[in-house]
Structure 1
Amino acid sequence: MNSLFNKTLVLFGLILTISYGSVQAQAVKWDSTYRPANFPKKVAEFKADVKSKSDVVFLGNSITAGTDWAKLLDLPQAKNRGISGDISFGVLERLQDVIDGKPAKIFVLIGINDISRNIPDTVILANYKKIIARIRKGSKKTKIYFNTLLPVNSSFGAFKNHYHKDEHILWLNDEIRKLSAKNVTIIDLYPNFTDNDKHLKAELTKDGLHLIPAGYQVWAEFLKKGGYLN
């Protein structure tokens, strides 16, 4: 009988510890102010970079930062605006510099680090909508492309805070797909990277989170075949 009460449940952002009939609520800790150590340096570099209305901006975290988009896509106007470790709040903080450049296109992939830091899914989704609204307001001609989150693969054991949170990835991806109603083009990357167990394909990653060149080639081919770069 006692075993029924020795459980920890996560519900609506609270950890409910139930023990012998008593209920204790403990808030799940998360921090919107976290920024990676190299954040100021990267932001300064981005601000100093020459901007053009023909730019195609790739905005995100280390998964975006991990390749040379101009070379990968044979697209000289492609600009990498990825910062390793960044979260959606960081993207919002540095978004104005991107908007001010009035780029032709912005491709967004952000959220997996938010999940790893226990930022609630609904908060992440609200930030997605803020990103879209701010771009729409500040650069009306810019085309917005939102990527679904990539899966992860826990068999590598390198990023334990990112693993075993598949339900969050799936929920956010479902919500990202609905953003098409906001005149946003959705790029559904997720199915292209999953194995039969719905994990990130081992042959496309070095650590269960980040992509190797073969992974970026899959991404590039999907963008090209889908006509997203035209």
Structure 2
Amino acid sequence: MKGRKLLIISLALNAFLIVSFLVFGYIYRDKIAQRFVRIKGNPTIVMYGNSITAQGKWVELLGRTDVMNNALPGQATYHFLQLIQSHVIDLHPKVCFIKGGINDITLGVRQDSIQSHFKTMLEMLMRNRITPVVTLTVYERNDPSSKKEVDALNAFLVSFCTQNNITCIDLNRYISDSTGLRAEYAVDKTHLNTKAYEIWAREVSGVLKEKGI
């Protein structure tokens, strides 16, 4: 009788551990996959940007394990430029999806500085035979001043990318309106929710398919 109780306890404990392991793996699957990509090295795709990029579960969203999320939460384009060599170029990806600028705008960085940082980074990527893809800066919610600055930055990015045959992704056409980021796609004034990331991932996947990557 005692042996049977011990067996039942042992089976229950094993079942609990297995379920816990599966739940843990499911919740943290993107982080686990990212660790695998880092160990393997040489990712095909690097996602580079601020917290908006960092919060994307890109392995899961894109359904592939050769994508590395090397975004820099809370940082401005100056920091992107300082770290692009180690965070992107030294990894030798085929393509880098780059997005940023809203932190600069929030901090009051001048347009010419933001644009110069972007120009230098895009030129560095092209010079190192890495295909850059620019995701245009997304509006914030209900902030006319910020929206004006975003429009100025995006106008520059579109112009530069057009001149250099660089692909742009414009999320604002899907998730924003005349007042800025729509509430149904936001978790706060600036950051995106799951629905917005699904749209973004759809656009990224379309670019990858178009480029045969």
TM-score using structure 1 length: 0.70
CA contact (8 A) 1:125 1:175 kept: yes
SS at match of 1:103: coil
CA contact (8 A) 1:151 1:169 kept: yes
Q: How does 1:39-78 map to 2 (within 5 A)?
A: 49-50=38-39, 52-78=41-67
Q: Look up the match of 2:195.
A: 214
Segment of structure 1 superposing worse, 51-60 or 186-195: 51-60
1:172-228 Cα deviation digits (max 9, x unpaired):
111111122123211122212212x34101011110210111110111122234545
Match of 1:173 among 146, 154, 157: 154
Alpha-carbon distance change, 125 to 80 in structure 1, aligned in 2, over 3 angstroms: same
Q: Look up the match of 2:122.
A: 132
CA contact (8 A) 1:87 1:111 kept: yes
Does residue 101 (structure 1) correspond to residue 91 (structure 2)? The answer is yes
- The 2-side partners of 1:78 and 1:92 are apart by 20
Segment of structure 1 superposing worse, 186-195 or 71-80: 186-195
SS at match of 2:92: coil
The percent identity for this pair of structures is: 25
Give the letter for the 2:151 counterpart. Answer: L
Shift of 1:52: 4.2
- The 1-side partners of 2:144 and 2:70 are apart by 25
Give the unaligned 5+ runs of structure 2: 1-33
Alpha-carbon distance change, 228 to 127 in structure 1, aligned in 2, over 3 angstroms: farther
Q: Look up the match of 2:3.
A: none
SS at match of 2:181: coil
Give the letter for the 2:116 counterpart. Answer: A
Give the letter for the 1:95 counterpart. Answer: I
Alpha-carbon distance change, 95 to 228 in structure 1, aligned in 2, over 3 angstroms: farther
Q: Look up the match of 1:194.
A: 176
Q: Look up the match of 1:34.
A: none
Question: Between Structure 1 and Structure 2, which shows a larger proportion of strand residues?
Answer: 1
CA contact (8 A) 1:107 1:147 kept: yes
Matched length: 175
Give the unaligned 5+ runs of structure 1: 1-44, 155-161
Shift of 1:49: 3.2
Q: Look up the match of 1:149.
A: 137
- The 2-side partners of 1:52 and 1:179 are apart by 31
RMSD of aligned C-alpha atoms? 2.3
Instruction: Flag the structure with larger Rg.
Output: 2
Segment of structure 1 superposing worse, 51-60 or 65-74: 51-60
Shift of 1:78: 1.0
- The 2-side partners of 1:164 and 1:55 are apart by 37
Alpha-carbon distance change, 134 to 219 in structure 1, aligned in 2, over 3 angstroms: same
